[in-house]
Amino acid sequence: MRCENPGRRCVHWHDDGAAAPRWQGVGRAVNGLRHEIGRVLAPAVDLIFPPRCPLCGDSIAAQSGLCAACWSELTLPGQPACAACQRPLSDRMATEAGSLCAPCLAKPPRHAGIFAGTLYDDASRRIVLAYKHGRRLALAPMMGRLIAARLGPLGPDWLIVPVPLHRWRLWHRGFNQAALLAREVQQRCGGTLVVDALLRQRRTRSLGGLGRKARRKELAGAIAVNRRRADRIAGANVVLVDDVVTSGATTDACVTALKHTGARDVRIACWARVLDQL
């Protein structure tokens, strides 16, 4: 197990992959102990810091959840959906099994579907802001749970890969929000987590406000497969994890790099998916 920054949120950088068997045993024991300590201390923590809903501040039963009213505000993607990308379709558009949405009809995607925990709206946006910029990392299990519900169980041959952050941004933020979600997904769906399969080779501007062409230009060559992980990616099925999929420009760049290295199916899993109007 490799840790680039032991002692400081090291879990965010851990590589699952080439762990030596003896470390796996130690790791399991440490995880078990951590879980046990957490279970024993939870009532005391709840007494000192009563659990509050991160959206509205109401009291709730557990530290990592939402209140019932805020749960009902989240929009979960449902059926019918596009057979290629899982975009929800209206009954009128989904005339038969295997119906495709207009963007997929116009241009078949390179990925094997977008599995979103929620559709992006005010509630899911506030949660991702609290998680990413408000550092409410305790939201990760709840977010991962909804993503996993969409994704379903995975075979052991699947790799779980987060969208990478540039190392300066990682240093500044202290954690990769996609990597924490990827870990939650792996724990619930199976597969193997490979946190450093992709690297961001240079910093990119925020893509907000840029057009499709400008986004692609901004990302050209910015994301690449880690050469040390290329052997594992070749021939593997991959779940690529991000917090929010907006235009798909970033995930497209990741899918292109993974496919270029020989990945077979690449599914995209995210907390929230932004739907443009069709």
Residues that bind Zn ion (CB under 5 A): 53, 55-56, 58, 67, 70, 82, 84-85, 87, 101, 104
Q: How far is the CB of 66 from Zn ion (least distance, A)?
A: 5
d(CA 240, CA 270): 8
With respect to Zn ion, which residue has the nearer C-beta, 1 or 112? Answer: 112
Q: Indicate the residue among 93 and 104 with the shorter CB distance to Zn ion.
A: 104
Distance in Å, CB of 99 to Zn ion, minimum: 9
Least distance from C-beta 67 to Zn ion, angstroms? 3
| C-alpha distance across the termini of the chain, in Å | 46
Q: What's the CA gap between 207 and 216, in Å, rounded?
A: 9
Q: Which is nearer to Zn ion, 127 or 198 (CB)?
A: 127
Non-local (6+) Cβ contacts of 109 within 8 A are: 84, 85, 103
Least distance CB 214 / Zn ion (angstroms): 23
3-state secondary structure of 30: helix
Cβ proximity to Zn ion: between 19 and 53 the closer is 53
Comparing CB distances to Zn ion, the nearer of 100 and 219 is 100
Q: How far is the CB of 113 from Zn ion (least distance, A)?
A: 9
DSSP alpha helices (H): ranges in the chain? 21-48, 68-73, 102-106, 122-132, 140-151, 167-173, 177-189, 212-219, 230-233, 249-260
- Residue 36 vs 58, nearer CB to Zn ion: 58
**Residue 213 CB, nearest approach to Zn ion (Å):** 21
Facing residues of 269 across strands? 115, 241
Tokens of 237: 């099925």
Strand 198-200 with 223-225, pairing? antiparallel
Q: Which is nearer to Zn ion, 70 or 160 (CB)?
A: 70
Burial class of 61 by CB neighbour count within 10 A (0 to 12, 13 to 18, 19+): exposed
Residue given tokens 């230009």 in the structure block = 217
Per residue in 89-110, is it b (16+ CB within 10 Å) or e — as a string?
Answer: beeeebeeeebbbebeeeeebe
Smallest gap from Cβ 108 to Zn ion, in A, equals 9
* Distance separating alpha carbons of residues 232 and 117, to the nearest angstrom: 27
